[in-house]
Amino acid sequence: MHKIIEDLNWRYATKQFDVSKKISSSDIEIIKESLRLTASSYGLQPNHFLIVENVSLREQLVPASYGQKQVLDASHLIVICAYNDLTDKHVDEYVENIISTRESNPDQVKNYGNFMKKTFSEMSSEDKLIWASKQAYIALGQLLHTCATLRIDSTPMEGFIPERYSEILSLKDKHLTPILVCPIGYRHKEDSTQHLAKVRKDQIDLFDTIK
């Protein structure tokens, strides 16, 4: 079996973390860099990542996560946020980044920026947030894969109360909406779910190959 498949089979939604085990700072750096390198539509990166280590905040986040204690017990808690709104300022910053990183033709890149601005100007605020939220899920897919490769456990979560997270983490001031929560760390040896067989559809129910 290829190592990728071994890694992904090793992964499971961890129910109980070992509080005593902490992710090394070098692995955290790999995880951050992996998130930074995540693809996004247009390359705009309309997401922001909180890495919450503070215990008192994480205690408050447990009831905001329907009592899921992984939020407190894991080594680190990652909260993937989306920009509340996509503004011309975000596009301008991106355009500047392309020009300075690639020494590109400024007029050409600005035309690309104007195309993005036009696209977003035709979308409602709600649709822009949905679009930015979807990009957060790409980051989650990359995060889960990266963690599995590093043999770091994870629990991807949609099940939390965004309004409570916003209050506890002061996200309104930052113009961010929390989209996904992912505690990461190391499974507790008594977490019995690690021994359960993985439930997935068969390939025949998931794929159509059109020759």
Q: Which residues form the interface with its own copies (CB under 8 A)? A: 2, 4-5, 8-9, 11, 13, 30, 32-39, 41, 43, 45, 47-54, 57, 94, 97-98, 101-102, 130, 133-146, 149-150, 156, 158, 169, 174, 196-201, 203, 206-211
- Cα end-to-end distance, the chain, whole Å: 26
Nearest distance, CB of residue 122 and its own copies, angstroms: 15
Instruction: Report the residue number, 1 or 189, with the smaller CB distance to its own copies.
Output: 1
> Coil, helix or strand for 153?
strand
Both structure tokens of 89: 């300022």
Q: How far apart are CA 15 and CA 18, in angstroms?
A: 10
Q: How far apart are CA 117 and CA 88, in angstroms?
A: 6
Instruction: Report the residue number, 110 or 145, with the smaller CB distance to its own copies.
Output: 145
- What residues contact residue 99 under an 8 Å CB cut-off, 6+ apart? 106, 109
Nearest distance, CB of residue 111 and its own copies, angstroms: 16
Task: Please list the residues that pair with 181 across neighbouring strands.
Answer: 79, 157
Nearest distance, CB of residue 69 and its own copies, angstroms: 19
Nearest distance, CB of residue 190 and its own copies, angstroms: 18
Both structure tokens of 61: 């986040």
Nearest distance, CB of residue 20 and its own copies, angstroms: 19
Both structure tokens of 100: 């300075």
Instruction: Report the residue number, 32 or 69, with the smaller CB distance to its own copies.
Output: 32
Instruction: Report the residue number, 91 or 136, with the smaller CB distance to its own copies.
Output: 136
For residue 13, give the DSSP letter.
B
Instruction: Report the residue number, 39 or 92, with the smaller CB distance to its own copies.
Output: 39
